[in-house]
Structure 1
Amino acid sequence: MGRPIASASRKPRTQGRNRRQESKSMRSFVRALVLGALMTTVAHAQTTAPAISFADLLGEMIHRDSVARWPEPAYRSAQFSSYDRAAQDPNTDWFANGDFNQFLRTETNGGRQEWVLMDHVGPGAVVRIWSANPPEACNLRFYFDGAAEPGWTVDFQGLTGGEGPVAGPLSGVRARGWNSYLPIPYAKGLKITTDKDGFYYQVGYRAYEPGTAVESFTPELLSTNRTMIGGVQYALMHPRSPSVAQTIGLSGALEPGAQRAWDLPAGSHALRELILRVNAPTSLEGLDLERALRSVIVRFWFDGEETVWVPLTDFFGSGVGLHPHQDWWRAVDDVGIMRSWWPMPYARRARFALLNLGDQPVQLSGALGIGDWSWDQRSMHFRANWHWTGELPSRPMIDYNYLTAQGRGVVVGDTLAIYNPVTAWWGEGDEKIFVDGEDFPSTFGTGTEDYYGYAWCTPEVFISPFHSQPRVDGPGNRGHTTNSRVRMLDAMPFKTQMQFDMELWHWAEVDVDFASTVYWYGIPGVRHNRRAQPDGAVAILRAPPPPLVIEGLSEAGDVLGAHTEGIELEHQTTGGYEGQWSKDDQTLFHGQKIGDYLELNVPGPEAGQHRLTLYAAKSWDYGIVRISVNGATVIDELDLWSEPVVATGPIDLGLHAPVDGKYVVRIEVVGKNENSRGTGSYFGVDGVAVTAP
């Protein structure tokens, strides 16, 4: 966020120098912090490793090179969550959706009832905690290494809301999702409990191999490492371009069907930064422009193997089109300059190319920043794979496979770009990640937005170092949306196999477009199931059809009049039923009993009779209503009950003259259908149209 400048020039110059000195000092501190993290990593690798500490994990969080080498000491990533326990296997409630309030067990500790979220035996570290709705005044208790008493008690909302032990970006609420990335190591085991239930949760953790020395977390570490925590927070929010030894400039035109390639220096090196700007013809706009950019393909070959084939805007985490954002690994600024900081090492040779599959020429500029790298047995090649499926039916529900790989590697991030033709929520599906031949996924989630760190289907743009939603068109969840999650401490190693699935679980029965990009590292020769998809890269980008607009309609929400006191009037979007209600919304009247009423003050012409037409809805909890116009009953009983939700279509109210320039249309509950549920006194109104007689 920009700093206000209204009075900045009036401040003494010494303050400006102090700010520059402070900024320079912080940058120097962060450089020292990264160097310290590097030295710690080397020490772990080359000697009998000292115990992994809280400070080690903080340093690793901002040591980019660590992801490009097989982890040492080795660990596996897994997750405890509130996923629906009814999901036993692909043949038994595999898409069950009761992901709320599921725990390992309940216990009584110190006279308190506690709900157990996590119980892991062995050395490890919690690396991520998420919840959609942590209760107020609810404590998380951390029982370290088999202890009968908790070693740390902390407020749940404080830990995940950025107002407790640490602030953002390590903790914070983003699009209604509560997140903590504070590392919490333990030597022999960890149990986490709460003293309240009634919430969704995920706890991601590392499980180190038996015998790995780990220093268990204590709350005192937060104060003794306060300076380091501040440095990590600053580094995450201000990612720096890495130091490079050589730069290769990129410039020129890329005609339709053409490819331009650049060879990197021979020998053992690493690409440390990719900067690109690609301009399409100025005559293009909207989806045509976005399609032209997506038709440009980013390609990399390392040591003779092609490891990257991804459309340009997907590669940089923007999905369809360019949308400003910045995470720990990638950035797109507001003028379209794209940056990538994934380290990409190689032993002998490397090549970078841009391929234009589209029908429009583009102009490109940028640079490749190359640095030193000492290739060893732990070194891995960077890989990125894109998988697109157009017009994918939401029924039957499926596990959409992001990636399946065989061999040894580490998953370090992913981006999902989805087109949804309706406002209804598309992302109820859970991630299911199988590692090294597991029969049941060691990571089983609670919802797609939960995986990406937000909650409640929230169509809100947010940006943070490890997860983001840089695009969401709306209204609701309609149109194009991009979600990203990138990883450091929660990177996912696999020794023999990785299967990364995400359920497609949509509330409506529609066709969506799904495109996933997975970023990962693998040893030379690792295999996977993703191949180039040129047809997908140039596919026509869909746009939702325009909403239904009824001629002459006064929307109910715009003409509300008197109504029964205390009754809730809800503006309701009609997600999943697009094209049936004007502008895809209605006013929902939460009636409680016979006699409850709503009046609409519909504007009318100055004189003369006109035809009034009511547009409403029918549903499973709606009542029987009487309708009057200007005090005269026009319909004695209109039954609005229906098991499936449907639009009524036009309901003729007859010819009427306005009184004082308006028509007062009164809808009053007079009965209940025997099949109606709840109070049986609800009704929904789209509006009233006034047309010529």
Structure 2
Amino acid sequence: MSKRFFTAIAIFSILIVADKGLSETVTFPSLLEEMVNPRITAQWPEPEYECLQFSSFDRDSRDKGVPSWWDNKDRSHFIRTEQNEGRKEFVLMDAEGPGAVVRFWSTWHGPGGGEFSNGTLRFYFNGSSEPEIEAPIADVLDKGYLAEAPLGNSVAKTTEYAKRGHNLYLPIPYSNGCKITYQTGAFIDRGAVEGEALYYIINCRKYTKGTDVKTFSLAQLEKNKALISEVQKTLEKGLKFSSKPAASFSAMLKKGDKSRITLAGSRCISGIKVKLGGGDVSEALRRAVIKIRFDGKPAVWAPLGDFFATGYQLHPYKTFYAGVKEDGTMYCRWIMPFRSDAQLAIENIGSGTVHIEKAEVYTEPWQWDENSLYFHSRWKQWKDIKTRSNKDNPANGAFDLNWITINGRGKYVGDALTIFNNAPRWWGEGDEKIYIDGEDFPSHFGTGTEDYYGYAWCRPAKFSAAFHAQPCGAGNFQRGFTVNSRFRSLDAIPFSKSLKFDMELWHWAETTVDYAPVMFWYAKKDSSSNLDPQPEEAIKPLPDISEEGRVQIDIEGAIEGERMQIVRCEGGRAFVQKNTRFGWSEDEQVWWQNGKPNQKLVLSFESEKSGKFKIYANLTKARDYAVVDIRVNGRLMKEGLDLFNPAVKARETLLGKAEIREGENSIEVQIKGANPKAVKRYMFGLDYIKLIEAE
């Protein structure tokens, strides 16, 4: 067994006490070891690096303050196109010097929303004309060509594969440059107006010139098989807490009360656990705040639930750095060093009583040196912020929100966003824009809020992965609550002078939302941020969530097609389409693309009543729409309904009478063919149905 493997086993089986970097030379194994060593995250990096981002953000977004700054064709934009050995390759990333790819996210669809080609992804290292990695993109990112989950994962597992976010966290180092390209036989145009859509975000490290980096090769996967397996297990199971906490308490906190722990010596907090007692803990999660001072300076202020990335609702999830157990215990594993002392307090700033059933703080030894950094966290809320309100951007009303600006030297290591959405529309089209050390244009420019958090297509499904999670997504398409989190290990962002983090707020609807991010970073003691504690925000009333996630059914009104469940789609792709030009109710329809004759789409909807009803359907007609049969609860309602029209048009059509059940009902659409004049894409679109009680 190799010396390196013994080192790896030691990392996972005993307390880590080394406060220095693992190696002067950066290698594939050293990056794997660093990934699961949170002590290194708490230090200024050695060797130093910048964290860069390459993405498919809309290239028309160049000038701040003009409408194009918020353009949204964040797909199929590339650095350039090349001819390599007769192949047309689109360049996604081209980085110079020593570095490492540390995160690769992507999602996709084929031309017109159809089936994706799964073209070839290639990694070229150190100026070579021969790729070291060459395989279909889905295979590379999450189908095991390089790594299985959690290092290569797609989320959520309950979401159909075509609508997932695909994430690769396996580190890929290189000594003198890396170029990543994509090749496909499918048609690709700028911004995927008609062609294949490839969304991507790649984070890489750029090490200081002269850093010794050993370039990745596929042979290293087999050579380091045991280490990879140990890393996978550690990411899945998380780091264990030591058997005994350094301090603990239980308390009943009335308004203004606090419980405090004081720690002395040169040590680090290595974990915190808190479990609340009582019934509904929503108020306590927001009204109880955690405050931490290190060596006399305030560093952490956040509502308890937000600090543990669960917001004001408890939803079980598990990541490497934080989580919520099934019994409601919240925990985090951030390393929080201090030179001489630390004070941790939980204070009740609300009017009710907060029951702390148990709070535990764990510590480890820490040797303070010039690279040691202090842990920080701050929370911010925009209560009832109006969406689509930017008058300088009449196209969509989107605008940027400054989450935080930090001055000084440090590392940005993650955030979580809690949102309450007051409209049944998607809220997260906005892109992250992160400015490092005073740069005029953000070096991190993203493609969408859900993309930043590692999922895709606004999906509401819950998921937990090693470094990102959506414990609840109920508010993604409905009025309701959503919480997203992303924690950074190898993709932490160092800054020498400053970091400014803006997130664009672009909602599909004109409404209000409660929007509350919490940020996590490390910094020197003389650093500062533009965020002060916000107790006045934390005590504002929580939303009435009693109707959360419920589809409003009005028997004499509309049952929206886009809110129906897609039970089965036998071919092509069915999803929600938004467009303000065609007069659809709420500007949306459920859209079935690229099915084939005889294939079926089955939708389900809920009714509060049973009986015989006239059924009206607002159906879209266009030049590429199909001829279809429509059945309700198995009964044929319309046979050979021709949905061809030279221009896009929505029209309410009487389907007929049918028996409707209380509870779940079904609509089945079967493609029979197309009008001779139609473009043969066999589309179908349902805006809504209406149920009118038959006499």
Alpha-carbon distance in structure 2 between the residues aligned to 1:552 and 1:84: 43
* Native 8 Å contact 1:33 1:228 kept in 2: no
Residue 588 of structure 1: how far off its partner (Å): 7.6
Aligned to 1:352: 344
Aligned to 2:689: 686
Give CA-to-partner distance per residue, 1:58-95, whole Å, 9 cap, x none: 11001110011111111111111111100002134111
Residue 652 of structure 1: how far off its partner (Å): 11
Aligned to 1:429: 430
Aligned to 1:77: 51
Aligned to 2:307: 315
Alpha-carbon distance in structure 2 between the residues aligned to 1:569 and 1:57: 39
Residue 28 of structure 1: how far off its partner (Å): 10
- 1:181-220 equivalences under 5 Å are 181-196=169-184, 198=196, 199-220=198-219
Residue 375 of structure 1: how far off its partner (Å): 1.1
* Native 8 Å contact 1:417 1:480 kept in 2: yes
Alpha-carbon distance in structure 2 between the residues aligned to 1:68 and 1:591: 50
Residue 539 of structure 1: how far off its partner (Å): 2.0
Aligned to 1:121: 96
Pair 1:179-2:149 in alignment = no
Give CA-to-partner distance per residue, 1:384-423, whole Å, 9 cap, x none: 0101101111113111222110000101111011111222
CA shift in 2, pair 1:126/1:618, >3 Å: same
CA shift in 2, pair 1:358/1:642, >3 Å: farther
Aligned to 2:667: none
CA shift in 2, pair 1:121/1:165, >3 Å: same
Return the letter of the residue paired with 1:472: G
Residue 357 of structure 1: how far off its partner (Å): 1.6
**Residue of structure 2 aligned with 1:363, choices 352, 355, 358:** 355
- 1:405-444 equivalences under 5 Å are 405-444=406-445
Alpha-carbon distance in structure 2 between the residues aligned to 1:41 and 1:98: 43
CA shift in 2, pair 1:616/1:535, >3 Å: farther
TM-score (norm. length: structure 2): 0.78
CA shift in 2, pair 1:683/1:80, >3 Å: closer
- SS of the residue corresponding to residue 469 of structure 2 reads strand
Return the letter of the residue paired with 1:461: K
CA shift in 2, pair 1:238/1:538, >3 Å: same
Return the letter of the residue paired with 1:114: E
Pair 1:66-2:40 in alignment = yes
Residue 641 of structure 1: how far off its partner (Å): 13
Residue 541 of structure 1: how far off its partner (Å): 2.0
- SS of the residue corresponding to residue 369 of structure 2 reads coil
- 1:353-502 equivalences under 5 Å are 353-364=345-356, 365-395=358-388, 396-474=397-475, 476-502=477-503
Aligned to 2:65: 91
Residue 569 of structure 1: how far off its partner (Å): 12
**Residue of structure 2 aligned with 1:343, choices 328, 335, 349:** 335
Aligned to 1:230: 229
Residue 351 of structure 1: how far off its partner (Å): 0.3
Residue 465 of structure 1: how far off its partner (Å): 0.8
Aligned-pair identity in percent equals: 36
Residue 523 of structure 1: how far off its partner (Å): 0.3
Residue 307 of structure 1: how far off its partner (Å): 0.7
- 1:590-609 equivalences under 5 Å are none
Residue 361 of structure 1: how far off its partner (Å): 1.1
CA shift in 2, pair 1:491/1:683, >3 Å: closer
Alpha-carbon distance in structure 1 between the residues aligned to 2:15 and 2:330: 29
Aligned to 1:325: 317
Residue 229 of structure 1: how far off its partner (Å): 0.6
* Native 8 Å contact 1:422 1:575 kept in 2: no
- SS of the residue corresponding to residue 227 of structure 1 reads helix
Pair 1:166-2:144 in alignment = no
Alpha-carbon distance in structure 2 between the residues aligned to 1:138 and 1:619: 33
Alpha-carbon distance in structure 1 between the residues aligned to 2:138 and 2:199: 13
Residue 371 of structure 1: how far off its partner (Å): 1.6
Pair 1:140-2:138 in alignment = no
Residue 366 of structure 1: how far off its partner (Å): 2.3
**Residue of structure 2 aligned with 1:295, choices 287, 305, 317:** 287
Alpha-carbon distance in structure 2 between the residues aligned to 1:382 and 1:481: 26
Q: CA RMSD, aligned part only? A: 4.8
- SS of the residue corresponding to residue 403 of structure 1 reads strand
* Native 8 Å contact 2:422 2:479 kept in 1: yes
Alpha-carbon distance in structure 1 between the residues aligned to 2:514 and 2:256: 25
- SS of the residue corresponding to residue 132 of structure 1 reads strand
Task: Structure 1 unaligned segments of length 5 or more: list them.
Answer: 1-25, 561-565, 593-609, 624-629, 632-639, 659-671, 673-677
CA shift in 2, pair 1:617/1:137, >3 Å: closer
* Native 8 Å contact 2:427 2:505 kept in 1: yes
- SS of the residue corresponding to residue 201 of structure 1 reads strand
* Native 8 Å contact 1:244 1:371 kept in 2: no
Alpha-carbon distance in structure 2 between the residues aligned to 1:479 and 1:408: 38
Residue 554 of structure 1: how far off its partner (Å): 10
* Native 8 Å contact 1:87 1:95 kept in 2: yes
CA shift in 2, pair 1:589/1:76, >3 Å: closer
CA shift in 2, pair 1:65/1:115, >3 Å: same
- SS of the residue corresponding to residue 320 of structure 1 reads coil
* Native 8 Å contact 1:247 1:368 kept in 2: yes
Give CA-to-partner distance per residue, 1:143-182, whole Å, 9 cap, x none: 1111222233233211211421211100011130111001
Alpha-carbon distance in structure 1 between the residues aligned to 2:416 and 2:234: 22
* Native 8 Å contact 2:622 2:649 kept in 1: no
Alpha-carbon distance in structure 1 between the residues aligned to 2:122 and 2:277: 53
Higher mean alpha-carbon deviation, 473-482 vs 444-453, is at 473-482
Residue 572 of structure 1: how far off its partner (Å): 6.6
Larger radius of gyration: 1
Alpha-carbon distance in structure 2 between the residues aligned to 1:208 and 1:657: 68
Return the letter of the residue paired with 1:353: A
Higher mean alpha-carbon deviation, 195-204 vs 508-517, is at 195-204
* Native 8 Å contact 1:270 1:371 kept in 2: yes
Alpha-carbon distance in structure 1 between the residues aligned to 2:347 and 2:523: 24
* Native 8 Å contact 1:552 1:691 kept in 2: no
Return the letter of the residue paired with 2:177: G
- 1:246-257 equivalences under 5 Å are 247-257=246-256
CA shift in 2, pair 1:104/1:552, >3 Å: closer
Alpha-carbon distance in structure 1 between the residues aligned to 2:621 and 2:229: 54
Return the letter of the residue paired with 2:380: H
Give CA-to-partner distance per residue, 1:538-564, whole Å, 9 cap, x none: 22222358654334679699xx9xxxx
* Native 8 Å contact 2:589 2:686 kept in 1: no
Alpha-carbon distance in structure 2 between the residues aligned to 1:180 and 1:591: 30
Return the letter of the residue paired with 1:433: I
CA shift in 2, pair 1:136/1:234, >3 Å: farther
Pair 1:277-2:275 in alignment = yes
TM-score (norm. length: structure 1): 0.78
**Residue of structure 2 aligned with 1:549, choices 536, 548, 553:** 553
- SS of the residue corresponding to residue 94 of structure 1 reads helix
Alpha-carbon distance in structure 1 between the residues aligned to 2:103 and 2:685: 43
Give CA-to-partner distance per residue, 1:72-125, whole Å, 9 cap, x none: 111111111111100002134111111111111111111111111111111110
CA shift in 2, pair 1:292/1:619, >3 Å: farther
Alpha-carbon distance in structure 1 between the residues aligned to 2:236 and 2:594: 49
Residue 513 of structure 1: how far off its partner (Å): 1.1
Q: How many residues align?
A: 620
Alpha-carbon distance in structure 2 between the residues aligned to 1:206 and 1:52: 11
* Native 8 Å contact 2:311 2:418 kept in 1: yes
Residue 574 of structure 1: how far off its partner (Å): 9.1
Give CA-to-partner distance per residue, 1:157-212, whole Å, 9 cap, x none: 11211421211100011130111001111111111112225311111100111111
- SS of the residue corresponding to residue 77 of structure 1 reads strand
Alpha-carbon distance in structure 1 between the residues aligned to 2:509 and 2:560: 25
Give CA-to-partner distance per residue, 1:26-70, whole Å, 9 cap, x none: 9996444577987694564xxxx3x21111101100111001111
Alpha-carbon distance in structure 1 between the residues aligned to 2:269 and 2:571: 63
- SS of the residue corresponding to residue 460 of structure 1 reads coil
